[in-house]
Amino acid sequence: MARCLREGNGSAEIAVPPTIQALLASRLDQLDEAERSVLERGAVEGQVFHRGAVLALAPEDEQVDGRLMTLVRKDLVRPEQSLLAGDDAFRFRHLLIRDAAYEALPKATRAELHERFADWLERHAPDLVELDEIVGYHLEKAFNYRSELGPLDGGARALAPRAAERLLAAAKRAFDRGDVPAVESLVPRSVALAPRGSASHRDALLQLARVLLGVADSARAREVLKELFASAELAGDSRSYNRARLVELELRVEHDRTASLDEALAEVEAAESELARQGDDEGVAWASRLAGNFLGWLGRTDEGERRWARGLEHAKRAGSSGQIADILGWRAWGLWWGPMPTGEGIRQANEIIEYAVGHPQLEAIATVGRGCLKGLRGEVDEGREDIRDGRARLFEIGQRQNWAGTAMIAADLELASGQPAAAEAVLGESYEFMSKTAETGFVATIVGLRAAAALDLAPSRTTSSRMCVKRVCERECSRAAAITMRRQSRFRPPSRSVMRRTTSLCGSTLRCPGPRSSVLPAASTPNGRRWRRPFA
């Protein structure tokens, strides 16, 4: 039902030739007034409409059923499978007919009918899955039309917060199921409608900041966070303030190359303590997920896994399927960068994929991770197929940043299987996308892996190799490249401090059974690449 509504709403962007518009208007003018009224009231609901809605919007007409059958005989509408139990449904034969009927209504009438339809649907379909989105849409339309017509009275002003609340609830549900395009559509509309300074406005701003972080729009995200922090401080809203801190810290780590992971981790833990004090299980789950990420990126994988486990407990307690999926998504990443044996990692990836039915983003990330693990176990062709499939799905659902980030996993498999040219190709494509954003987290490892691929292609690619390594050193992006440089005699060996830091990171992250001095020789050989992990 919501899909049909969105299709109808999108039709306004179609440029219809004036001759077609005139032809449709002429055909509708041939209807008697009562038939036209029924058609117009059906058009308010959308391309698909229900008998009950028409009855509610035309209560004075006692012959609605007969008029609907007349419209069917005239081939303007057709019977359709009902989306509401116990009701009959109809579909306009063409979207242009629906639009012509709708455009014939004065704006004041449209506003009144949209509000009445929203009220009717709330009463008659309380269990409808898309209720929030549909009711929010119609209340939004009613408010916007009344705003266009002049000064708003109290009743008209009350429409905006109702619409904002419904749209935000729909956005949260879309986030829980991983429907990124729906979230990106719903949240800005909720922000625009919610009264400034209200709790609902702060909640909508928080969701908008998360959306902007997800699409790597760091500049706008900072603007939204600035407004959110100010509103939360003025209202004394500690919950919103500390949740906003989590978005700001993730934004800082991903988009500010001077950010310190250790300092960010300490701030996350401080925010988590405040959220726990307030009994905010969902907020604690969110903070635990972020702390787990930072610990993993610091090479403290065991601690990171424990924080993710804590986050899952709180997410389940809060009933937040979105937070559960978010944590499992990062666990899927951790199967690649952490020390999990390939067999156990594949088993856990399969469990995540089984859980992720109906959550395309989570399923895609877990599929990519499983593909790399399969390849490292020797099932290279199957692994590549998983990686291609998962990355294609991420691209299709608009998860461009995750699509670009998973190039690291694809490249790791190609490097491990002795295909540096393939690795450089996929990394180059990803880097081209990431360089257009201010993101620094994924870019760090991408640049390091590109350096490793370029060095493996030497001597034919000596210039490219040096450029990549220079960029690594300049950005302090990856110490993994320093390991590879060790075995390239044409390059000056890295400094002792870099080597000591690299050895320490490798030893703690990979849990090497032997002395840490054995890590570098192992990691610097082609066969040792199966142990390589990113350092950002």
Residue 431 CA to residue 71 CA, distance in Å, equals 57
On whether residue 333 sits in a domain, the answer given is yes
Query: What is the CB neighbour count within 10 angstroms for residue 17?
Result: 8
Q: Is the pLDDT of residue 35 over 90?
A: yes
Q: Is the pLDDT of residue 110 over 90?
A: yes
What pLDDT sits at residue 456? 82
What pLDDT sits at residue 75? 93
What pLDDT sits at residue 1? 54
On whether residue 336 sits in a domain, the answer given is yes
Tokens of 14: 């179609």
With H, G, I as helix, E, B as strand and everything else as coil, classify residue 152. coil
User: Using the 8-state DSSP alphabet, how is residue 515 labeled?
Assistant: -
Q: Is the pLDDT of residue 362 over 80?
A: yes
Could you identify the residue written with the tokens 């035309």? 58
**What pLDDT digit, counting tens, does each position of 155-164 carry?**
999 999 999 9
Residues 13-40, mean pLDDT to the nearest whole number: 82
What pLDDT sits at residue 339? 84
Could you identify the residue written with the tokens 């350092």? 535
What pLDDT sits at residue 439? 74
Helices (H), 59-193: 64-73, 95-103, 107-124, 131-149, 154-157, 159-176, 180-193
Which residue, 105, 133, 165, sits at the end of a domain? 105
> What domain range includes position 335?
320-388
**What pLDDT digit, counting tens, does each position of 455-494 carry?**
888 655 555 555 555 454 444 344 444 444 443 433 444 5
Least confident of 162-176, 323-337, 451-465: 451-465
With H, G, I as helix, E, B as strand and everything else as coil, classify residue 80. strand
Q: Is the pLDDT of residue 407 over 90?
A: yes
**What pLDDT digit, counting tens, does each position of 494-522 carry?**
555 655 555 554 444 444 333 333 333 33
Which residue, 388, 421, 442, sits at the end of a domain? 388
Residue 258 confidence class, pLDDT cut points 50, 70, 90: confident
Q: Which residue has the higher pLDDT, 483 or 174?
A: 174
Which residue, 51, 82, 105, sits at the end of a domain? 105
Bridge partners of 259, per DSSP, are none
**Which helix (H) or strand (E) element contains residue 224?**
helix 218-235
On whether residue 416 sits in a domain, the answer given is no
What pLDDT sits at residue 479? 43
What pLDDT sits at residue 476? 38
Q: Where are the beta strands (DSSP E) in 389-452?
A: none
What pLDDT sits at residue 192? 96
Note whether 190 and 168 are within 8 A (CB): yes
Residues 361-366, mean pLDDT to the nearest whole number: 95
What pLDDT sits at residue 82? 94
What does DSSP say about strands 77-80 and 48-50: parallel, antiparallel, or unpaired? Answer: unpaired
Q: Is the pLDDT of residue 279 over 60?
A: yes
What pLDDT sits at residue 519? 37
Please give the tally of structural domains in the chain.
2
What does DSSP say about strands 89-92 and 48-50: parallel, antiparallel, or unpaired? Answer: antiparallel
**Sequence letter at residue 420:** P
Q: Is the pLDDT of residue 438 over 70?
A: no
Note whether 321 and 279 are within 8 A (CB): no
On whether residue 99 sits in a domain, the answer given is yes
Bridge partners of 91, per DSSP, are 48, 78
The pTM of the full predicted model, rounded to 2 decimals, is 0.80
Mean pLDDT across the chain, nearest whole number? 85
Q: Is the pLDDT of residue 289 over 90?
A: yes
On whether residue 93 sits in a domain, the answer given is yes
Residue 25 confidence class, pLDDT cut points 50, 70, 90: confident
Residue 186 CA to residue 172 CA, distance in Å, equals 9
On whether residue 49 sits in a domain, the answer given is yes
Residue 37 CA to residue 8 CA, distance in Å, equals 19
Q: What does the DSSP assignment read for 334-386?
A: HHHHS---HHHHHHHHHHHHHHTTT-HHHHHHHHHHHHHHHHHTT-HHHHHHH
On whether residue 62 sits in a domain, the answer given is yes
**What pLDDT digit, counting tens, does each position of 59-106 carry?**
887 899 999 999 999 999 999 999 999 999 999 999 999 999 999 999
CATH number for 47: 1.10.10.10
Q: Which residue has the higher pLDDT, 323 or 485?
A: 323
Residue 312 CA to residue 320 CA, distance in Å, equals 9
Residues 393-420, mean pLDDT to the nearest whole number: 91
- Cβ contacts of 440 within 8 Å, gap of 6 or more: 254, 255, 256, 257, 475, 477
Burial track 175-212 (b if 16+ CB lie within 10 A, e otherwise): bbbbbbebbbbbbbbbbebbeeeeebbbbbbbbbbbbb
Residues 7-16, mean pLDDT to the nearest whole number: 50
Q: Is the pLDDT of residue 256 over 90?
A: no
Strand ordering across the sheet containing 48-50:
48-50, 89-92, 77-80
Residue 466 CA to residue 485 CA, distance in Å, equals 10
What pLDDT sits at residue 518? 35
Most confident of the following: 109-123, 334-348, 351-365 = 109-123
State CA 33 to chain mean position distance: 47
Residue 302 CA to residue 300 CA, distance in Å, equals 6
